[in-house]
């Protein structure tokens, strides 16, 4: 049951952020000419979507484009990456702070983005004891430090514009820990912490921050997951392989990236965006249930769902 959008449930009313086009809304953030805005359409509010070359980012980029935003998408491959029609692609490596700074600078030079969807991410698995330090550092850089670095660099322009929406794409696992996914779970829990804290800092400047937590989404991310440890002879091997095969099967049966984009667009369009919203993996039932259960019962449930004792 959806609660009515009041200041108690959804926070203060913020200036609307809507798409533009021929008749962009009065007072919408505008674009000005420069290298980053070379292909910009005058009058269209701008949206930045990280990781727009596949999956959820692709679907969000398409949805924002269709809603009348000028969309800048990112991929490590830059303009050469696969991308939806009508999206300008720029090169961004979340593992490289210099790349993040360069993209933020070029985006801001073209005018404050009205919408930022911080979506790019690495899916990682492996028994905690067997996670290499460089893999752990990288997943935190890509999923957390890079995302917040980018948002921090874009915020001053959004604050000056007096409106905007930041969507941080977390994961339901951020609140529902799972064995052999400790590094990934920890990054998504950290992103949730940043987002929910930031929200209370910037709402008075007209900026809404929403952490969107997908459940199992059928994007093919299973094939791109980085997997560590659990080699022949590892004491964790059987458990880790069981968990991964259940995880992959759940993702293959998951809802579509377009469903998550629909949720993202609801919060972009809302005058009182939600702080935290989960979708997929029966989130409407699972989230309230697991919040009510003792923590150990929730952890046991997560293990059982993934074939573990």
Ligand X SMILES: NC(=O)c1ccc[n+]([C@@H]2O[C@H](COP(=O)([O-])OP(=O)(O)OC[C@H]3O[C@@H](n4cnc5c(N)ncnc54)[C@H](OP(=O)(O)O)[C@@H]3O)[C@@H](O)[C@H]2O)c1
Which pair of tokens denotes residue 163? 């409106």
Min dist. Cβ of residue 104 to ligand X (A): 14
Least distance between ligand X and beta carbon 193 (Å) = 16
CA angle 243, 58, 256 (to 5 degrees): 50
> If residue 90 lies in a helix (H) or strand (E), which one and from where to where?
strand 88-91
| Residue that has been written with the tokens 């579509």 in this structure | 256
Active site residue: 184, 194, 228, 236, which one? Answer: 184
Query: What is the SS3 string spanning 206-247?
Result: CEEEEEEEECCECCCHHHHCEECCCCCCCCCHHHHHHHHHHH
Neighbours of 12 (CB within 10 A): 11
Q: Which residue is nearest to ligand X (CB)?
A: 55
Is 61 or 108 the residue whose CB approaches ligand X more closely? 61
Smaller CB distance to ligand X: residue 28 or 265?
A: 265
User: Would residue 236 show up in a list of annotated catalytic residues for this protein?
Assistant: no
Question: CB 239 → ligand X: shortest distance, Å?
Answer: 21
CB of 44 to ligand X, least distance (A): 23
Nearest to 263 by CA among 117, 158, 72: 117
Q: Do 113 and 164 meet the contact criterion of CB atoms below 8 Å apart?
A: yes
Q: Which residues are within 8 A (CB) of 80 and not within 5 positions of it... i.e. 6 or more apart?
A: 89
Sites of contact with ligand X (CB under 6 A): 51-57, 75-77, 81, 92-95, 119-123, 142, 169, 171, 214, 216-217, 219-221, 224, 251, 254, 257
For ligand X, which is the closer residue by CB, 218 or 234?
Answer: 218
Helix axes 182-202, 146-161, angle to 10 degrees: 20
Tokens of 195: 């987002």
CB of 214 to ligand X, least distance (A): 4
Q: Closer to ligand X at the Cβ: 213 or 239?
A: 213
Of residues 54 and 242, the one with the C-beta less far from ligand X: 54
Rounded Cα gap, residues 245 and 202, in angstroms:
41
Token pair 């093919």 in the structure block, residue: 220
Please identify every residue annotated as catalytic.
184
């Amino acid at each position: 049951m959806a609660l009515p959008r009041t200041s108690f449930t959804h926070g203060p009313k913020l200036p609307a952020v809507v798409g533009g086009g021929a008749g962009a809304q009065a007072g919408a953030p505008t674009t000005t000419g420069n290298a980053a805005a070379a292909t910009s359409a005058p009058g269209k509010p701008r949206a930045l979507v990280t990781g727009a070359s596949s999956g959820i980012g692709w679907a969000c980029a398409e949805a924002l484009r269709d809603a009348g935003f000028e969309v800048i998408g990112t991929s490590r491959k830059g303009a050469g990456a696969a991308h939806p029609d009508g999206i300008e692609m720029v090169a961004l490596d979340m593992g490289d702070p210099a790349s993040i700074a360069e993209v933020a600078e070029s985006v801001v030079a073209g005018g404050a983005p009205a919408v930022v969807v911080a979506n790019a991410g690495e899916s990682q698995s492996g028994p905690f004891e067997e996670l290499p330090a460089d893999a752990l550092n990288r997943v935190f850089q890509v999923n957390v430090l890079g995302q917040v670095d980018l948002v921090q660099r874009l915020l001053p322009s959004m604050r000056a514009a007096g409106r905007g929406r930041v969507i941080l794409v977390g994961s339901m696992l951020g609140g529902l820990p799972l064995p052999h996914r400790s590094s990934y779970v920890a990054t998504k829990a950290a992103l949730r912490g940043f987002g929910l804290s930031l929200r209370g800092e910037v709402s008075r400047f007209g900026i809404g921050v929403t952490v969107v937590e997908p459940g199992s989404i059928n994007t093919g991310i299973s094939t791109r997951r980085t997997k560590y440890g659990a080699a022949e002879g590892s004491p964790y091997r059987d458990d880790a392989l069981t968990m991964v095969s259940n995880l992959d099967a759940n993702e293959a049966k998951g809802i579509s990236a377009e469903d998550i984009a629909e949720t993202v667009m609801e919060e972009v369009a809302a005058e009182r965006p939600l702080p935290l919203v989960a979708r997929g993996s029966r989130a409407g039932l699972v989230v309230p249930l697991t919040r009510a259960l003792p923590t150990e019962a929730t952890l046991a449930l997560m293990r059982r769902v993934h074939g573990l004792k």
